[in-house]
Amino acid sequence: MCSTNDRCQCVAYRFRCSEDDDACTEGELINGGTKWEYNLVTEAACQEMRADYSSNVFSNVTCCSTDECNRPRDIKCIQL
């Protein structure tokens, strides 16, 4: 994961549902659905995801490094 030599970056992307993904419903699996994911990965991993754009696994990949830059656009976040 992230370290002093491997900096972290936020990432937002869509992914295609696959059989081994617990985040997808059975209906989404059958229909080849996609979902948004918001995560923290290494800079290298984020660049790999952007490069893998044509593989049809990831789409709309956005790498960023400012506070809350990858938060969902359609959901209001709250601070606890």
Q: Give pLDDT tens digits for 29-50.
A: 889 888 899 999 999 999 998 8
Query: How many CB atoms sit inside 10 A of residue 1's CB?
Result: 8
Query: How many CB atoms sit inside 10 A of residue 14's CB?
Result: 14
Q: What is the pLDDT of residue 22?
A: 87
Query: What residue ranges do the domains of the chain occupy?
Result: 8-64
Helices (H), the chain: 26-30, 43-51
**What is the value of pTM for the model shown?**
0.74
CB 33 within 8 A of CB 17: yes
Q: What is the pLDDT of residue 79?
A: 57
- Confidence at 9, pLDDT banded by 50, 70, 90: very high
Across the chain, mean pLDDT equals: 84
Query: CA angle 56-19-28, nearest 5°?
Result: 75
